[in-house]
Structure 1
Amino acid sequence: MNRRNFIVGASGGALMAAGGATAWMSTVGSMVDYEAYAYGLRAGLTLPADIRGLLRYATLAANSHNTQPWRFRVGDGLIDILPDFSRRTPAVDPEDHHLFVSLGCAAENLAIAAAATGRPGEIQMDPDGDSARYAFASGSMRTSPLYAAITKRQSTRTEYDRRPIPVADLSLLEHAAAMPGVRLILITDRTRVNKVKDLVVAANGVQMADLAFMIELEQWIRFNPRSAMATGDGLFSAASGNPVLPSALGRFAFKRFFNAQTEQDKYARQIDSSAGIAVFVGDREDTAHWFKVGQACQRFALTATTLGIKVAFINQPVEVTRFRQELAGLVGEACRRPDIVLRFGYGSTLPFSPRRPVEAVLA
């Protein structure tokens, strides 16, 4: 669920001067239109919620590169949650680890929204671990503060304000993410935070030296509102606090200005500004546990949202194999594989990421 940023300097302003504001808007689209689009995606559900509304809420879950690698099959009294392997990212995620974590995030959103809007039930994992099912059951609505947070949660990929998180709120985050088969380690002391920062920076350098990784990353970047709304997926530049650009200029800027040193400096600043780091570790390395990690991670992020806390993924040390063992030892889980790394703290809200329409994710 990693997000990458890039810096374009003054190139956008140069194009504005050369072509004028009207030509610029016709090329990149309007942020006003984009905000209306994003608001529509996050509109509240009717009561009781219809199936289409529940699936829309499910798709607002965190996911890797905003690929939205899921499909949903609706049956009598059930919704199957299936992987969409056509949306794999083999360079950054060759084992489909992040893909199954993303499915767990979507399943948790679905379960919370359904229970809160008149369709209670339970998540059932397929025995082979390759899919899951939300089975409706009789019962009353189970309202949760996490339900209202679904439309507000985002991965806020910017610097935070360095304020510490109260101990009581850290306890709430731990409680929310508690799930059999998953361990959460919270790191707030600066010595260990700095050690994680060193791993993130080093792993990021390895990734940026990998041509396949860079090609794959560029394919998922949406440089302007028009492109983000047209595809409904990908890493929208404005959602990372970056300028919007025509797609051709954005690709040029990506190749020209997106470099390892700039990225490493940026990640160092962002981690330094954060209150702490959360590391999720599954008991085993299999799809069923990756799915559970996604559920726990989503509950953590939603609870953080209710507390006014921002989160962002810094998964480089789990994506680059050689750094996993060092990270595992650092968090006291030397015999297990770390699955997800988040930084958290207080910060501003950025534009939301795009989402595909429900019709596009129906199996």
Structure 2
Amino acid sequence: MKRNDLLFMIEQAVKAPSGHNTQPWLFRLLENEDKVELYPNADKELKVVDTDRRELFISLGCAVENLSLAASSKGYSLDVSITEDGVITVQFTFSDSVKEHALFKQIGERQTNRSVYNGSVLKESLIYSLQEIGKVDNANVYMWLNGSPEFCVIADYVLRGNEIQMKSKEFKKELSDWIRYNRSHTLQTRDGLSYEAFGAPDFPRWMSELIMKSFLNPFMQNKGDKKKIQSSSHFILFTTRNDSVVDWINLGRTLERFLLELTSRGIAYAFLNQPCEVKPLSVGMARSLLLEKEYPAILIRIGYGKKMPYSLRKPIDDVLI
């Protein structure tokens, strides 16, 4: 297997989403065996907001799905195995019968769009087609229209999540550590939450820090999220049957396929994971939605909005071991 093919696939894999754009993955190339091993990067853990590392492992699953789609563009199929502690081994097999997947070209187009959307509602036929996207075992996807009782319940849990998180000094410290306050800061790190993703101007860093940190309180967070929620068409909740590393990684593959499908249809999305991240709220939301035997894992809102600037990625050499 050509090393350039492996590097190309990893370049696509790291375009996957991750919490705070931490990019929490490490890759080991086993060229002679046509394999890649994928490991969680302990240095990129979000110990406050993602205490059980659920979102980290979901991100690794998203990266694996990108790897799979990129492999198809080079004529490879793959076999994935996952250990209980989250080490992922990907075995590649070349075949003339493997054709490029239709979603491959969406990898570079996908973005998390945190803006206020235009309020348009997705057509029912489009929602039905999204529900047909393949799911892995032990994962489910639920969609609720803006204005429905379930949508209103979830919106309330999001705001309650803000109240809890934005009163936590530890949460705000961790979040602040991953905000990139201007262009030079963003180019220096090539990770984290860029000022552009929030629609902020390119001010001197000291000024941006003062302004952005003034927004890190329950009132301002809820004020902004209310507008964003009201402008959205649907909430989509991804759940797992088990709270396990293997299920989280497999859910990540479903999530990435779903996000790329949204991208191909011109649909914007953004994460609102607050009620999944605060354990009491997660349990309460599942009960309120009659999903008591499932674990809420990822919550997104969808709709139509203008393109936003893209988040940068680390150089490939930084993720190879």
> Is 1:132 matched with 2:88?
yes
Q: Which moved more, 1:65-74 or 1:131-140?
A: 131-140
Query: Which residue of 26, 51, 66 corresponds with 2:6?
Result: 51
Report the AA paired with residue 74 of structure 2.
Answer: T
1:104-129 per-residue CA deviation (whole Å, 9 max, x = no partner) reads 01111111111122232222222x24
Deviations 1:115-149 (A, max 9, x none): 122232222222x2411122101323322221011
Distance 1:308 1:48 in 2: 34
CA contact (8 A) 1:185 1:331 kept: no
SS, match of residue 107 in structure 1? helix
**Separation of aligned partners in 2, 1:147 and 1:352:** 18
Amino acid at match of 2:166: M
Does the CA contact (< 8 Å) of 1:312 and 1:344 recur in 2? yes
Distance 2:233 2:151 in 1: 9
Match of 1:258 among 216, 219, 222: 216
Q: 1:218: which partner in 2?
A: 176
> Which of the residues 333, 347, 360 maps onto 2:291?
333
Give, in whole Å, the separation in 2 of the partners of 1:125 and 1:166. 38
CA distance in 2, matches of 1:207, 1:106: 27
Per the TM alignment, residue 177 of structure 1 is displaced from its structure 2 partner at its CA by 4.5
Report the counterpart of residue 118 of structure 1 in structure 2: 75
TM-score, length-normalised on structure 2? 0.94
Say if 2:151 is the partner of 1:196. no
- Say whether the 8 Å CA contact 1:157–1:312 is kept in structure 2: yes
Please give the residue correspondences for 1:94-113 in structure 2 after superposition, counting only pairs within 5 Å: 94-113=51-70
- Take 1:170 and 1:198, find their aligned partners in 2: how far apart are those partners? 23
For residue 255 of structure 2, what is the aligned residue in structure 1? 297
**Which AA in structure 1 matches 2:93?**
A
Corresponding residue to 1:287 among 209, 233, 245:
245
Q: Distance in 2 between matches of 1:335 and 1:174?
A: 20
Q: Whole-Å Cα distance in 1 between the matches of residues 154 and 121 of structure 2?
A: 18
Count of matched residue positions in the alignment of Structure 1 and Structure 2 = 316
Deviations 1:46-102 (A, max 9, x none): x99622111111000011110000001110201111100111110111111111111
User: What is the root-mean-square deviation in Å for CA atoms of aligned residues?
Assistant: 1.6
Query: Which segments of 5 or more consecutive residues in structure 1 lack a partner in the other structure?
Result: 1-46
State the secondary structure of the residue aligned to 1:120. strand
- Helix, strand or coil: the match of 2:298? strand
| Paired position in structure 1 for 2:35 | 78
Report the CA distance between 1:159 and its aligned residue: 1.0
Structure 2 residue runs of 5 or longer lacking an equivalent are none
Structure 2 residue 97 is the aligned partner of structure 1 residue 152:
no
> Aligned to 2:132, what secondary structure does the other structure show?
helix
Identity rate, percent: 28
- What is the rounded CA distance, in whole Å, between the counterparts of 2:247 and 2:259 in structure 1? 18
1:164-243 alignment runs, 5 A limit:
164-190=121-147, 191-243=149-201
Contact 2:146 2:235 in 1 (8 A): no
Counterpart Cα distance in 2 of 1:245 and 1:106: 33
**Does 2:21 correspond to 1:66?**
yes
Query: Whole-Å Cα distance in 2 between the matches of residues 70 and 223 of structure 1?
Result: 24
Q: Is the 8 A contact 1:146 1:303 kept in 2?
A: yes
Contact 2:75 2:94 in 1 (8 A): no
Could you tell me whether the CA contact under 8 Å between 1:280 and 1:338 is conserved in 2?
yes
